[in-house]
Structure 1
Amino acid sequence: MKRIIPVLILCGLIACKGDQSQETEKDKSVIDSLNSEELLPENLLKSEPVVLNLEEANKLVELPLGCIDTEYPNKLGQTLENEAAIGEPSELHPAFYGCFDWHSSVHAHWSLVKLLKNFPELEKKEAVKEALKNSLSAENIRGELDYFKREESDSYERTYGWAWLLKLAEELRTWKDPLGAELADNLSPLTDLVVQRYQEFLPKLNYPIRVGEHTNTAFGLTFAYDYAVATENTKFKDLIAKRAQDFYLKDDDCPLSWEPSGYDFLSPCLEEVDIMRRVLPKNAFSMWIDDFMPQLKKKDFVMEVGEVSDRTDGKLVHLDGLNFSRAWVFYGLAKQYPQQYGHLENLANAHVAYSFPNLAGDSYEGGHWLGTFAIYSLQRAGTKEKE
């Protein structure tokens, strides 16, 4: 990574914005030639995008609506201070007790908000609004706050659940509807606490966590960064950008052939790409990714989808989630840098196409969370990114 350092010095790390040098005509001609369809593998040319339309939204909304009030089965994941700390899930978490675990409940609420924002004519729009108002009342959020302030809960849901809480807060704050503002205000005490927890934790984390599940550091940074940008929290944004560069700037040759592990739902390599494309300026990111995952620029790059052998197994079905999370990274990269990475949209389409048909009628092991991953992936497919 030696050649990226001068660029970052000149740019002041994160202060450098935009394209600081023009592509040469020769470079442009090479890029144009690589964009020609005949260089794309045949299987990728046939990968049609899944479109999230009103019909599909009406189907998908059933998943979060069906689980946010489903208290059992439940995985609490708590550390008990004493016997008095034991309680029913709905007592411990009056807002986010359903959907098997806390973080799944949080992102189920995000799914409801996202679908209602994008499709205000949902057949069950009134049921969605009522469910959101009931869950995200000021009283219920005070109950959640009390739990987070327990003696043994400093690291509760760190950082996966934290990240989804901020994604929910971001969605509410950017919803141009009085209900969105009301619910965002209700949620704000917990949102502020999560931001504080991030700001306390990140400076102490000496080494990133590079796994394909909940504790993946890059994923936690990515959603937090989006929230910081959306709310114009410059202090928080700069902290995340600094820590991402501390963790990942010198990384080379990510071992993509090692992925996936048996029940990953995140790609350690691609999640790192997802945060670095956000925090690095264009030229610095280009040089970084050339060292980290140069194969992504190849028009014939192929990554096989994660195959699920048993969708009733709560761990093995994680691989459906992996397909969606890989897809949202590919979509984001292709949208932000279409000349260099536009071909990855086809690969993203293939990953979504494999797992999307399995959402309806899936067992509760997958149904309580996979809809959210599908919705977020398809949102990235339709998002225009800034370079």
Structure 2
Amino acid sequence: MELTEDIARNFARIALGHVARPYPYKDDHVFESEADVRPPRTAHPAFFGSYDWHSCVHGWWTLLTLLRLYPAMPEAAQIAALADETFTEAKLAVELAYLDRPTARGFERPYGWAWLLYLQLEAGRHQDRQWGARIEPLARAFAARLCDYLAVLTYPITVGTHFNTAFALILARDWAERHDPALFAAIDDWAVRVFAARRHYAGWEPGGDEFLSPVLTAALLMRRIMPAQEFRPWFAALVLENGWLERECRPVTVSDRSDGKIAHLDGLNLSRAWCLTGCASALKDPAARQLLHDRAGEHLAAALPHVAGDYMGEHWLASFAMLALLTAD
């Protein structure tokens, strides 16, 4: 499967329908006093839509990526106009000032941080616009926080939800490779220290509200960091030799897409497809490569029909479908 123009236009329409939709909204905010009672748009004039801050950020990543890949599609003009309206110096200054609050230290850590970096990386590719330059101060602020966070994070967080460390580092590392050599080195050093000795995964996956695979996100991160000749035996010892990938890694069932937590499982199917495809490119053994590609295709086929439908999934799933569809072997 690939990202065709028809799919791109569908995803663009979905994201345009939610990045500026103010409600419903789930706030990640610590109230310090009665004065903090405010509508989300006041605290987050750029990222007030899409149900929550981080989904709005990666909804924008989806839109700007589609705009770059299909600049002639009918939705392109609307995306560009809305981006000009959204990514202003004044609005982004408010987003940056929010981080100065003493209680904002853990705001959107690490998932939202990583997606903001990934958005800025994409925005910078639109060299005819000021979006990347305007978002950069916010990206720099989150990058500094991430570097400080890695210095005190003794153990990886290996859940399948927003707190997952490996997923955040995959996105942040791509940004840091171009923009922050110190953060890039810190990510690689930290990941090797905590993941390189891992073997024989036997976790109880999936969890009922997961949209990330704890083991496959770690594997994709190490695929980016390790030379291929080192990654192959590491990956084999992690999930191939013990039969986990062949036995356990099957598309998951989503029983209620109107339940925001259960709807996460559509995202697990998509993110597994992304990770499996990305890891397959490093393998030499034809049977192992085919197994990963088969599993990736099964997961993608199970989830793509459900990117749109109920708003609990619709406000974020297109971004994960994009990750999967844009990862080529």
Identity %: 34
Offset of 1:301 from its aligned partner? 6.2
Between stretches 246-255 and 142-151, larger displacement belongs to: 246-255
Q: CA RMSD in A?
A: 1.8
Hey, what does 1:112 align to over in structure 2?
63
Amino acid paired to 2:311: Y
Hey, what does 2:136 align to over in structure 1?
188
Offset of 1:51 from its aligned partner? 2.5
Deviations 1:18-72 (A, max 9, x none): xxxxxxxxxxxxxxxxxxxxxxxxxxxxxxxx32211111111111100111111
Task: Return the alpha-carbon distance in structure 2 between the equivalents of residues 178 and 142 of structure 1.
Answer: 22
Hey, what does 1:371 align to over in structure 2?
318
Hey, what does 1:66 align to over in structure 2?
17
Amino acid paired to 2:140: D
Cα distance change on mapping 1:133 and 1:339 into 2, 3 Å? farther
Hey, what does 2:54 align to over in structure 1?
103
Q: 1:260 aligns with which of 174, 192, 206?
A: 206
Offset of 1:235 from its aligned partner? 1.4
Offset of 1:244 from its aligned partner? 0.5
Q: Residues 135-146 of structure 1: matches in 2 within 5 Å?
A: 135-146=86-97
Amino acid paired to 2:171: F
Hey, what does 2:119 align to over in structure 1?
168
Task: Return the alpha-carbon distance in structure 2 between the equivalents of residues 129 and 313 of structure 1.
Answer: 33
Offset of 1:330 from its aligned partner? 0.8
Task: Return the alpha-carbon distance in structure 2 between the equivalents of residues 171 and 136 of structure 1.
Answer: 13
Hey, what does 1:12 align to over in structure 2?
none
Offset of 1:217 from its aligned partner? 0.8
Offset of 1:234 from its aligned partner? 2.1
Cα distance change on mapping 1:296 and 1:119 into 2, 3 Å? farther
Deviations 1:162-210 (A, max 9, x none): 01001101112234x412xx10000011010011001111010011111
Offset of 1:287 from its aligned partner? 2.8
Q: Residues 301-316 of structure 1: matches in 2 within 5 Å?
A: 303-316=249-262
Cα distance change on mapping 1:80 and 1:299 into 2, 3 Å? closer
The answer on whether the counterparts of 2:123 and 2:131 sit within 8 Å (CA) in structure 1 is yes
Deviations 1:261-312 (A, max 9, x none): 1111000010110111111122222232232223499996672201100111
The answer on whether the counterparts of 2:231 and 2:282 sit within 8 Å (CA) in structure 1 is no
Hey, what does 1:121 align to over in structure 2?
72
Calculate the TM-score normalised by the size of structure 1. 0.81
Q: Residues 236-315 of structure 1: matches in 2 within 5 Å?
A: 236-256=183-203, 258-295=204-241, 303-315=249-261
**If you compute each CA radius of gyration, which structure gives the higher value, 1 or 2?**
1
The answer on whether the counterparts of 1:302 and 1:347 sit within 8 Å (CA) in structure 2 is no
Offset of 1:100 from its aligned partner? 0.4
Task: Return the alpha-carbon distance in structure 1 between the equivalents of residues 165 and 202 of structure 2.
Answer: 17
Q: Residues 71-86 of structure 1: matches in 2 within 5 Å?
A: 71-86=22-37
Amino acid paired to 1:342: R
Task: Return the alpha-carbon distance in structure 2 between the equivalents of residues 303 and 274 of structure 1.
Answer: 15
Cα distance change on mapping 1:133 and 1:247 into 2, 3 Å? same
Cα distance change on mapping 1:214 and 1:281 into 2, 3 Å? same
Amino acid paired to 1:379: L
Structure 1 segments unaligned to the other structure (5+ residues): 1-49
The answer on whether the counterparts of 1:108 and 1:369 sit within 8 Å (CA) in structure 2 is yes
Offset of 1:85 from its aligned partner? 2.0
SS at match of 2:17: helix
Task: Return the alpha-carbon distance in structure 1 between the equivalents of residues 221 and 298 of structure 2.
Answer: 23
Counting matched residue pairs gives 327
SS at match of 2:194: helix
Hey, what does 1:88 align to over in structure 2?
39
The answer on whether the counterparts of 1:310 and 1:316 sit within 8 Å (CA) in structure 2 is yes
Amino acid paired to 1:333: C
Tell me which of the two structures has the higher relative contact order, counting C-alpha pairs closer than 8 angstroms and 6 or more residues apart.
Answer: 1
The answer on whether the counterparts of 1:166 and 1:223 sit within 8 Å (CA) in structure 2 is yes
Q: 2:281 aligns with which of 310, 327, 335?
A: 335
Amino acid paired to 2:302: Y
Q: 1:233 aligns with which of 175, 180, 189?
A: 180
Task: Return the alpha-carbon distance in structure 1 between the equivalents of residues 279 and 29 of structure 2.
Answer: 36
